[in-house]
Every structure is written in structure tokens, then in C-alpha cells.
Amino acid sequence: MKMKIHKGNFLIYLLVVIIPTILLGLYFYNQILKENDVKRKDDARWIASIYQKNWDQFVGETLTSLKILSLSAIENFDTPEKMEPLLQQAKQEDPRYSGLFLLDNQGRILTGTDTHYHQNDFPEKSFIKEAIQTKDIIISNHVEVLGNNQRVISLASPVLNKKQELLAVFMADLRIDYMKNIMRVLTPDTKIFIVDGDKTLLQMNVNKQEAENESQWITYPMNQLPWSLKVKIADRDVKEIAKNVGQSLFIIIIVTHVLFLLIEYILLRIHTLKERKENEIQKMELVGTLAASTAHEIRNPLTGVKGLIQLLSEKYTDKEDRYYFDVINLELKRINEIVSDFLILGKPTVQTFNHVNINETLNELKPLIISEGNALNIECSWHIDHQSVIVNCVKDQIKQVILNLTKNAFDSFESPGILQIRLQKFDETCKLEIIDSGKGIPEEDLEKIFRPFYTSKETGTGLGLVICKRIINSFGGEIKIKSKVSAGTTVEITLPLANKKRIRS
């Protein structure tokens, strides 16, 4: 038995704790990874948006500076040498510039801040040609290395007159190292690079192998430049993931163990009730065995005793002697009734069922019950359906049940009160209720009252209600008792009508 219990407990623990913990753990682990991936991507997008805003601001400031220079260039177009000091000053005041140049409408240099360029160098540059043709601002799509080993990206801005005719082109070389410094100040540890299509223009903290893994990068377009920012998605924080998984597992383990304990408690209650029921059945079997083996043995000497008492009563006729013989006969009668109760509790015997009118049975018992009630100053109230209520049962036994229950009701009164007897007829059943306004039964005792040998009376045997239940069950009915301390008790008996299907208890 213990082996089965331990095996059952392990199976429940496996199904309620271990398997759900593993499955839920895997589920939450995947959810945490997904949430972590989404968070890391959102963080990368946020970083890219910061760079995008700073680059837009950087380009916007550069274009504003070039527009101011364009106004000066229009006024001094005939004397470009006057522009050189202005370009030198702009370069010195703004560290973003590696060089500033003023070109004619053919792309040839007029003046500039550096002398290492040849006059014919600029017309051949594709971004210069595009700026001349489109009369729009064009940024070169590749990085150039100057003679001083400085890496730059060039920007061409057209100078237009009021008729929108191209007069000249400003070209600015923007320092790569200055751009990198801006990026490094914002997020020094972030891996980022800038591309124009498939061409890498600028990169920071990036090696070739990392750049090839597209799934680890977030691409973010720029507004004022035909470029895109690529920001590396941060690596998973193993400690943070482990912490979150650990917290989830801790909660899962607590919940599953609480559920396991709850199920164990419910199963224990079921097992206890089952054992209690088995114990009651064993008690009933014990009582039945005892009744079968001793009832007749008791009655045999009882018959002899009664006969001898009868002879003695005929011999001794004094009034005092007659009183003693009457007392002895009453006690013998009581013994005989107890033996009869034991026989009812014994092994089932073949009984002859008849159609019994419960109305008539109650009317037969009515004088006896009213008489006993009057003796105790208890009012008896009858509420009986006038139509016939026919039940298939044994008349003497149903009488015994009613008398037993009314006697219990009378015993519950500690002061004058009311005893109600109600009989109702339904489609397939009838209901007999015996309601008293006595002291009631405590709630903790209600579940014990149908146990053999349990009694709250000093002289009771604890078999009265057990016998009543056995009789009612044999008729295919059921008996229920409801009670409240100081309010009274209601005994409800339900029986199937004759020729109707019986109710199983």
C-alpha cells in the first residue's frame, strides 16, 4: 500500500511539478530571449536615431555655412582672390573642414585654402559634374585620402544667381577623423559604420567579420544624406537573461509546488473519506456478524426467562411482587427490541415489500406521537397531503423509522416547542420532513450521526439513526439531516413512489 502511495505521489509530482516546470521554463526562456532581442534592437534603433539627428544637424550646419559663403562669392565673383581669406577664416574656425574651395561653373579651381590640388583635378570628379548638372548639393560617395594622409569626404554646393544660373561651385572637404570624434563622444563603445549603398564610407569599432553578419545590424536611413547608418545590435547580456530566467523558474516552482500540495491535500481528503467509509462498512459488517451469531442465542434464553417469570408471576400475586414482575417484563421487552435492531443491522434478509399509503401510516401513528408530545408539553403540527402517497416498502419498518425520528426530536427539546411533520408528493417521489425546534446538533457532529455506535445520549446505543438509514436505503430512498444549534433540526426522507424508479443513495 505504501509502495503504491509513494509511486502515486511521484507520478503526481512528475506531472504537476517537474514536467510543467521544464515546459514553462523553456517557454519563458524563449520569451525572455525574444524580449531581450526586441529590446536590443530597439536600443540599436534609438542609438541610430541619435546619430541620424546629429548627422542631419552636422550637414545642416555645413550647408548653412556654405550658403553664407555663397552670398560672399556672388558679390566677389569677379575678384575670387578676395574669397581666399574668408575661406581660410572659415576653415580655422570650424574644425570639420579639411579644405574649402571655390570652383567656376566648369569645375575648375578659382581659389581655396589648400594648394596641393591641381586646377584640373576637380572637373573630373563625378560628384562635381553631378553638382554642375543638377545645380544641387552633392556628396561624394567615397572617402579620399589627401597628400597629408588625411581622409575626407567631399561635398559640392552650387552658387546660383537670381536667375538660378550656375555661377560657381563651393567644394568642402569634411574631415573623417572629426566625424569619428563626434560618433565616439556620443557612444564610444558602439559599433557603427556609414554606407552609401554597398560602399562603406565610415566605420568605427567594426571588423570585417562583424560587418558581414547582416542579422546583427540595424540599418537606419539618413534624412539629408543618401547614406544609411548601420548600428551593431548589442550582444545578449547573459547575466541579465540568467537573472530573469531564474526569477521565472522560482515563481514557476513555487506555483507548481503549491498546486502539488493542494492536489495532495485533496487526494488525502479523498483517501481519508474512503478509509472512513471502509471503516464504517467494516463496522456494519462486524455488527452484522455479531447480530447473526448472537441474536438467536440471546433470544433463546430470553424466551426461557420470560416463561419462568410468567410462572413466578402466577405464584406470587402480591401487589408489590406484581410491580417487580412488570419492571422485569419491561426490561425483557427492551432487550428483545435491541436484539431486533441488531437483526436489522445484520446481513440482509428477504423482505416482503407491499404498497403502503404513507398518509394512512402517519394517521395511525398520529395519536401515539401527539400523546407523547402532550406529555412533554410539545405541540405537534401536521402538514400532510390529502391525496394518497403510495410507497413500496415494509409497513412495520417505516413505522419504526418515523417513531425513532420523532423520539429523537422529542429528546432534543429542553423547553416547550413545536414538532412539525410534513408530507409532500411529487411526480416520482414523496418527501417526509420531521422538523423540531429543539437544541439542534453542532456542525462538527452532523457528519458523525450516521456512524455506528456514535451517540450524544448517555443511555443511547448509537444504532437508531444507523438503523433508520439502513431501512430507508433498502426502500430505495435517502435520508438527510440539517440542523443548527439553538434553532432546531430537520430530518428529510425522500422515497420513490410505487412503480417509480428507485433513488440510489
Q: For residue 362, is pLDDT > 70?
A: yes
Phi, psi of 120 (to 5 degrees): -95, 10
- Confidence (pLDDT) at 284: 65
User: 393 has which bridge partners?
Assistant: 354
Neighbours of 126 (CB within 10 A): 11
Q: For residue 214, is pLDDT > 50?
A: yes
Taking phi first (over 0 means left), then psi (-120 to 50 degrees means alpha), and beta for anything else, what does residue 499 get? left
Q: CB pairs under 8 A, 24+ apart, for 201-209?
A: 201/141, 201/142, 201/143, 201/153, 201/227, 202/143, 202/153, 202/176, 204/180, 206/232
Does residue 503 lie within any of the structural domains?
no
Neighbours of 314 (CB within 10 A): 9
Does residue 502 lie within any of the structural domains?
no
CB 157 within 8 A of CB 174: no
Rounded Cα distance, 419 and 407, in Å = 11
Q: For residue 3, is pLDDT > 50?
A: no
Q: What is the 3-state secondary structure (H, E, C) of 137-158?
A: CEECCCCEECCCCCEEEEEEEE
Residues 416 and 331 in one domain: no
Query: How sure is the predictor about 207, in pLDDT bands with cuts at 50, 70 and 90?
Result: low
Print the domain residue range for 15: 2-232
Does residue 504 lie within any of the structural domains?
no
- Confidence (pLDDT) at 211: 66
- Confidence (pLDDT) at 365: 87
- Confidence (pLDDT) at 463: 72
Residues 244 and 221 in one domain: no
Q: For residue 227, is pLDDT > 90?
A: no
CB 362 within 8 A of CB 421: yes
| DSSP conformation class of 497 | B
Does residue 355 lie within any of the structural domains?
yes
Among candidate residues 322, 344, 366, the one where a domain is terminated: 344
Residues 175 and 321 in one domain: no
| DSSP conformation class of 502 | P
Query: What pairing do the DSSP bridges indicate for beta strands 418-425 and 379-384?
Result: parallel
Instruction: Pick 435 or 121 by higher pLDDT.
Output: 435
Instruction: Pick the closest to residue 127 from 198, 226, 229, 230 (CA basis).
Output: 226
Name the domain count of the chain. Answer: 3
Residues 325 and 224 in one domain: no
Residues 216 and 355 in one domain: no
- Confidence (pLDDT) at 433: 94
Instruction: Pick 118 or 219 by higher pLDDT.
Output: 219
Residues 227 and 287 in one domain: no
Residues 223 and 79 in one domain: yes
Instruction: Pick 429 or 62 by higher pLDDT.
Output: 429
Does residue 505 lie within any of the structural domains?
no
Instruction: Pick the closest to residue 465 from 457, 422, 384 (CA basis).
Output: 457
Rounded Cα distance, 122 and 128, in Å = 7
Q: For residue 449, is pLDDT > 70?
A: yes
**DSSP E strand boundaries for 387-466:** 390-393, 418-425, 429-436
Average pLDDT over residues 106-113: 85
Q: Which triple of cell numbers denotes residue 349? A: 434478509
122-144 pLDDT tens trace: 787 888 888 899 988 888 877 78
- Confidence (pLDDT) at 255: 92
Residues 65 and 208 in one domain: yes
Among candidate residues 232, 252, 286, the one where a domain is terminated: 232
Q: Of 2-16, 46-60, 311-325, which gets the smallest average pLDDT?
A: 2-16
Query: How sure is the predictor about 423, in pLDDT bands with cuts at 50, 70 and 90?
Result: very high
269-327 pLDDT tens trace: 888 888 887 877 777 677 666 666 666 677 677 777 777 777 777 777 777 777 787 87
Residues 256 and 191 in one domain: no
Instruction: Pick the closest to residue 496 from 432, 435, 406, 433 (CA basis).
Output: 432
Percent of the chain with pLDDT over 70: 84
Does residue 377 lie within any of the structural domains?
yes
Q: What is the CATH number of the domain that holds 390?
A: 3.30.565.10
Q: What is the CATH number of the domain that holds 287?
A: 1.10.287
Among candidate residues 283, 315, 344, the one where a domain is terminated: 344
The amino acid occupying position 162 is K
H-only helix segments in 355-463: 358-375, 395-411, 443-446
Query: How sure is the predictor about 503, in pLDDT bands with cuts at 50, 70 and 90?
Result: very low
Question: Mapping DSSP to helix (H, G, I), strand (E, B) and coil, where does residue 238 land?
Answer: helix
Does residue 97 lie within any of the structural domains?
yes
Instruction: Pick the closest to residue 170 from 260, 288, 76 (CA basis).
Output: 76
Instruction: Pick the closest to residue 329 from 311, 348, 310, 315 (CA basis).
Output: 310
Place of cell 420513490: 496
Does residue 134 lie within any of the structural domains?
yes
Residues 314 and 383 in one domain: no
Residues 267 and 404 in one domain: no
231-263 pLDDT tens trace: 888 888 888 889 999 999 999 999 999 999 999
H-only helix segments in 376-463: 395-411, 443-446
Residues 319 and 373 in one domain: no
Residues near 393 by Cβ (< 8 Å), separated by ≥ 6? 353, 354, 356, 475, 495
Q: For residue 442, is pLDDT > 50?
A: yes
Q: What is the CATH number of the domain that holds 13?
A: 3.30.450.20
Q: What angle do CA 466, 470, 473 make, to 5 degrees?
A: 135
